[in-house]
Amino acid sequence: MKRAVYPGSFDPMTLGHLDIIVRAAEIFDELIVSVLNNKVKTPLFSVEERVKILEEATKGMPNVKIDSFSGLLIDYAKENDIHVVVRGLRAITDFEYELQIAQTNRVLSEGQVDTIFLTTNLEYAYLSSSSVKEIASFGGDISKCVPEYVAKLTYEKYGICKQNL
Ligand code: ADP
């Protein structure tokens, strides 16, 4: 059985993330989308909230499981017998960062954990969780960036009430 993990902050999950999830779930028998509990970053959504958002988005996908982890990705992969990491690439700027992490993980895991990259759907190439948060914080329109229920939750975090949501 081919199992892979798609790790990330997902703060919050965007349509770009969801596109990668859908495509990776078609490639692997089981895809575990795992929310990184990064103590260094101050997230907008708690790990539990981010997990719930992902669960809602993937409830019709039987081979997708949602989880969370802290610590090193390679330790998490080892504990769960996972040898493949999925990451998304939007632009060359992502590439440099991702290449370094992928190579580090491969060395640290002694060749046990490899990374595959799915290139972004062009429609979502500009999308990031940070820009979604920035736009939402000013009351801007994020309806093309995240599912409707995520937009509602994000505006709520900034105390913004949108009538039609
Ligand atoms: P990080 O884990 O680096 O904090 P994110 O949670 O924002 O980043 O993203 C997790 C993964 O999803 C990364 O591999 C990132 O490149 C990818 N990703 C983010 N947004 C998009 C998008 N719009 N299209 C494709 N991949 C994306």
Distance CA 55, CA 32 (A): 11
CA distances for 125 relative to 20, 27, 68, 94, 132, angstroms: 12, 21, 25, 11, 13
Amino acid identity of 41?
K
The set of protein residues with a Cβ atom below 6 angstroms from ligand 1 is 8-10, 14, 16-17, 20, 87-88, 90, 94, 120, 124, 127-129
- What pLDDT does 51 receive? 98
Rounded to an integer, what distance in angstroms lies between the CA atom of residue 152 and that of residue 149?
Answer: 5
Q: Does the structure show a pLDDT above 90 at 40?
A: no
What is the rounded CA–CA span in Å between residue 74 and residue 104? 10
- Between CA 113 and CA 107 the distance in angstroms is 9
Sign of CA dihedral 67, 73, 75, 79: positive
- Identify the pLDDT of residue 38: 86
Of all atoms in ligand 1, which is nearest to the CA of residue 127?
Answer: 23
CB 124 within 8 A of CB 19: yes
**pLDDT tier, 140 (very low <50, low <70, confident <90, very high otherwise):** very high
Segment among 35-39, 61-65, 66-70, 136-140 with least mean pLDDT: 35-39
Q: What is the mean pLDDT of residues 109-126?
A: 95
What mean pLDDT do residues 88-96 have? 89
Catalytic residue positions, numbered: 17, 41, 90, 129
Q: Which of 5, 6, 11, 17 to mutate for ligand 1's pocket (most ligand atoms within 8 Å of CB)?
A: 17
Q: Report pLDDT for 92.
A: 84
Sorting pLDDT into bands at 50, 70 and 90, what band is 98?
A: very high
pTM over the 0.85 mark: yes
- Residue (of 146, 148, 115, 153) closest to 128 by Cα position: 146
Mean pLDDT of 59-82: 97
DSSP string covering 54-72: HHHHTTT-TTEEEEEE-S-
Q: What average pLDDT does range 115-133 have in this prediction?
A: 95
Selected residue with higher pLDDT from 37 and 40: 37
Phi-psi region for residue 81, left (φ > 0), alpha (ψ -120 to 50) or beta?
A: left
Q: Name the average pLDDT for the chain.
A: 95
Q: With 80 as the cut, is the pLDDT of residue 164 above it?
A: no
User: Among 39, 70, 90, 146, which is best to mutate for testing ligand 1, by the most ligand atoms less than 8 A from CB?
Assistant: 90
Residue 163 has pLDDT above 90, yes or no: no
